[in-house]
Structure 1
């Protein structure tokens, strides 16, 4: 858990407040205490009122055999449900919300499937990521559709001024898993750059655990992954710069779709971002950005399919300093979505456009902190939606801060829910949500604590209604027939001594169908996550313990999934100034458990890496 506390920002942090650090090549490294997702512009963590966690570069470099969803699952309020290995279909639930109710960004640009909903998080290569910011709670008033549960913002690797610097990693482990990464970064005479490439493969394991399943196939289901990223920027005079970034990743993963077939899925994710950052006056910073993202998935099996979403995004954001400790950000945006799907008929629409206007005000008045967000979206598919958010924080003393927040959110219907033959309905309305939360946070020296209580009510929930109440549908259809309540309490504790770090996160949650009272599928009511690290004799040793109680695989709560506890161990040792040895041992007790009915999960696995980082 990242905890935010009272205090004044440093001079450098104050300068950064007028820029979007996700588009900067150097600020994230020189100012590690800066976050950007909570207000669409850079903030010192001491000023941030939202519930935000940052997964930093050091944590990413120690991921070993894991993909991004596994790292997210170690943070408070986050669960995952995977259909087998790390590159098979994986759902990510923030505060109990559905996967398609969490917005995913790469460098501030939307990415995901507009047909099925959700994003291919596992396909984003860790070697190309600088940090990941997790914002919990509705954020549609900042980013528009789909941010009911929260926002995951992936910031790609960034360069810094200086001579060219080479980094490399090679590792191997259980299931014949191999991963490599090579990068170079640097900058001079106004230029900054960072390039990275990665490759990996694994034999994996059979993703179906139930031998009685009609899809069970005893063969191993492995994967191959490769990706690259590049970021280049040029500051042609102080306060004026041009920047470009690109990320591309391809993953071929096998799965069990039949008893004898060779079933596999090819995923491709890419993101292109061009930006001009201009300090027009001492109080006015402008950012013009053009971007394009792609989420493409093709399945090769007895029932082949292809779904593809391309999103072009244009934005102009102006960050204005109104007075000391008061900022206003105003953004105009346009989103153009184009989809293709093998399941669509020729008459189904394949495009929709959304125009948006966003305003964010932030003010600090002695011990009082205020943030107000307002956004209006106009979509060619579902009409107009206006969302808002208001957060007030009060510094009880130099170590304690209390805050109260109210916000609204919405999720846009997917193309499948609107147009899929025999299932979609064009009159489907967006899901809407209203959230209230209160928090209390503390820090003094190496001691940290945070308590958050929230209640998020979701209306017009889109579900598969079977039988369909609309005449003309033979079987099920998408319909606005449900309501959900996402409520819970998060408690985080942390302590750091000279060579020891301890962290504990506890979540009590009740994500349930408001009509039936049944818990939402694949979500626990209690989660606990503990970690400890200790430096000893030149080694950095760590242990992680994740616990989840019983969940249900269906909405009627008749198919239980047993609770589980996982213990992971980590170790790293500096061989010399430039070389480091890292090791990760996941699930040391070889716990057999399910995140989705009949699907296997990884058993005990070890991964060892050699890292070159001068």
Structure 2
């Protein structure tokens, strides 16, 4: 009898407890807990509480708690006789294994998916003026650099066919469908998710080439950061960031850049010149705050950017006095409600204001144009987890509404209203995952008495196969489109050009496939292929009076192969991106699409306490030749540029100091990305970053 009683006392009927944030003391929802020796895995609720209902638990167990954004924790000899309190330490970690861009379900990114995540190494910019150069680490990314203005495109698409988001809110506007990356400071970017391939099934108009989602930092840990830097050709910059998680999560940051950009170059006659009127001054601020109310979380984010710069024009027709002023204000209010293991409801209301003033008092070409654009939007997304046996089903459904109003001295006062709904599913079974999605969008464009309304239906389906390990396979088919811009529709007749209000959207059918290999926890290799067929391509053509106007006449076929190796080890690593593509329209190649281009980096590091204390890197990027006009009668030569960089960490008690230095274009190569817009030769930078 005594033996039986002892066994009863040694066995528990279950385990209860709470998991809290070590710094704030608040409950941490959706922590994954697993008891050693059991197959059961449980999640904490929205208040951080959990209950393991297994009967016959031993008196003492070993528990492992895991959640993104926190250090994993293993607790030994946990008594099951009383409730347990577990404290998790938050950490800011790269979550390159999760994508919120390629899918609205925020799933783990399959190694074979055409998705890249570019992580920020801090708030220093390492000699760069904007983030466009960082994005070239991903395959199929082409940068167009006009000295102090840069744009990005994906997979042979145009800049207008590439959608850019900031924290999930689109930056492209209907004025020209372009995003100027010189308005985005690298110091205020946490990471950039690049989802290559058509994505109109999730985002509507414009992502024929893909989507770039710029994600700002979150207040996940207490931090005080500041950076200061100097560079060649009159470059000076500084940045700061303050963050404090708590009852109210708070983050405030900003950056300043002043770049004279007065570098030497050679003109068409090989004469030595100094670049003039290519200066750039930029100031930006970001503010984020959020608080949890039980199952609800309220958030607010705002960013402001102001720039003043010259507009030098091409060296074949320079402009010494043209100036360009830009301003952008973005406000985002968010509401999230957790629904236990069932799902999550998210709502976002946003408003964006853009201002641009171009002034050119030139002798031969005079301009004084002002553009003001107001964009307001609302999106509502419901995510559901349907746990079934043997398959696991997840659903996302959403509604979105956008209004755009433009006041322009060039195109008048056009407006566009967009209403859309989408649904996405993720069905997983036995190593196979099917990911279908579709979206219907209704758009109406107005300019005075002219009204155009049309609908767009955009389906997409992806298939993933995650066996045999460590291989994974991806196959996707999509249908995407781009809407005509206000400039294309309503540009006034100036004797040389005029718009065409009868334009229709461009449509593209795309197929892509990929193979991924997980070589180690931090190393992988991916190869992908893609094919895009674009119809009703908008091109500017002269009419019978030799006035150029846009028309839907062209077709294009784009094929390519992407290679993305990444090998990261304890003290050295190699990562790269290489793309081979052919972009043809009828019998000619599309301008500014080189057949081969890529970027790579080799780094060596001295590690201490699992962190890089000294890091040396050698970077290389280049392209083959590319045509600069539709008839293919003129070309830009290819180039190969090498960069050297170093990072030294100097931790002292509660302060972490970091010194970044380097030399860019170490062989002083003269090259251009856009015809008659030369880029700087050899340059140096030195910056310091301090974290408390």
Where 1:498 maps in the other structure, the secondary structure is coil
Q: Is the 8 A contact 1:489 1:507 kept in 2?
A: yes
- Answering whether residue 667 of structure 2 is matched by residue 605 of structure 1, we say no
Q: Which has the higher contact order (CA 8 A, sep 6+)?
A: 1
Q: 2:506 aligns with which of 424, 431, 451?
A: 431
Cross-structure match for 2:169? 109
Moved more, 490-499 or 130-139: 490-499
| Inter-partner Cα distance in structure 2 for 1:308 and 1:49 | 42
Q: Is the 8 A contact 1:433 1:459 kept in 2?
A: yes
Q: Is the 8 A contact 2:94 2:119 kept in 1?
A: no
Q: Is the 8 A contact 1:208 1:598 kept in 2?
A: no
How far apart are 1:292 and its partner, in Å? 1.3
Q: Is the 8 A contact 2:125 2:187 kept in 1?
A: no
Which runs of 5 or more residues in structure 2 are unaligned? 1-29, 34-40, 47-67, 70-89, 362-366, 446-452, 608-612
Cross-structure match for 2:280? 223
Cross-structure match for 1:256? 312
Cross-structure match for 1:593? 671
- Answering whether residue 629 of structure 2 is matched by residue 554 of structure 1, we say yes
Q: 1:403 aligns with which of 462, 469, 474?
A: 474
Q: Is the 8 A contact 1:406 1:435 kept in 2?
A: yes
How far apart are 1:323 and its partner, in Å? 1.9
Closer, same or farther: CA 504–262 of 1 in aligned 2, 3 Å? same
| Inter-partner Cα distance in structure 2 for 1:611 and 1:408 | 45
Matches within 5 A, 1:127-526: 127-161=187-221, 164-188=222-246, 190-205=247-262, 210=267, 219=276, 221-237=278-294, 239-257=295-313, 261-280=320-339, 282-302=341-361, 303-323=367-387, 325-345=392-412, 349-381=413-445, 382-422=453-493, 423-445=498-520, 446-467=522-543, 475-513=547-585, 515-516=586-587, 518-526=588-596
Where 1:141 maps in the other structure, the secondary structure is helix
CA RMSD in angstroms comes to 2.6
Where 1:379 maps in the other structure, the secondary structure is strand
Closer, same or farther: CA 557–574 of 1 in aligned 2, 3 Å? same
How far apart are 1:27 and its partner, in Å? 9.4
Cross-structure match for 1:531? 601
How far apart are 1:294 and its partner, in Å? 3.0
Where 2:237 maps in the other structure, the secondary structure is strand
How far apart are 1:255 and its partner, in Å? 2.5
Cross-structure match for 1:5? none
Cross-structure match for 1:54? 117
Where 1:356 maps in the other structure, the secondary structure is strand
Closer, same or farther: CA 62–541 of 1 in aligned 2, 3 Å? farther
Closer, same or farther: CA 505–442 of 1 in aligned 2, 3 Å? same
Q: Is the 8 A contact 1:65 1:607 kept in 2?
A: no
| Inter-partner Cα distance in structure 1 for 2:628 and 2:357 | 26
| Inter-partner Cα distance in structure 1 for 2:565 and 2:275 | 43
Q: Is the 8 A contact 1:207 1:601 kept in 2?
A: no
How far apart are 1:295 and its partner, in Å? 3.5
TM-score (norm 2): 0.80
Q: Is the 8 A contact 1:70 1:80 kept in 2?
A: yes
How far apart are 1:269 and its partner, in Å? 2.4
| Inter-partner Cα distance in structure 2 for 1:335 and 1:284 | 26
Closer, same or farther: CA 259–51 of 1 in aligned 2, 3 Å? closer
Q: 1:565 aligns with which of 640, 649, 664?
A: 640
Deviations 1:37-93 (A, max 9, x none): 0112322234x763111111217645333311121123211111222x2x22x2322
| Inter-partner Cα distance in structure 2 for 1:315 and 1:49 | 29
How far apart are 1:529 and its partner, in Å? 1.9
Deviations 1:267-291 (A, max 9, x none): 2223211011012454131111100
Which runs of 5 or more residues in structure 1 are unaligned? 1-8
Aligned length, in residue pairs: 581
How far apart are 1:94 and its partner, in Å? 0.8
Q: Is the 8 A contact 1:462 1:479 kept in 2?
A: yes
Where 1:416 maps in the other structure, the secondary structure is helix
Q: Is the 8 A contact 2:136 2:142 kept in 1?
A: yes
Moved more, 394-403 or 456-465: 394-403
Higher-Rg member (1/2): 2
Where 2:190 maps in the other structure, the secondary structure is strand
| Inter-partner Cα distance in structure 1 for 2:185 and 2:174 | 21
How far apart are 1:610 and its partner, in Å? 0.6
Closer, same or farther: CA 353–122 of 1 in aligned 2, 3 Å? same
How far apart are 1:14 and its partner, in Å? 11
Cross-structure match for 1:4? none
Q: Is the 8 A contact 1:111 1:294 kept in 2?
A: no
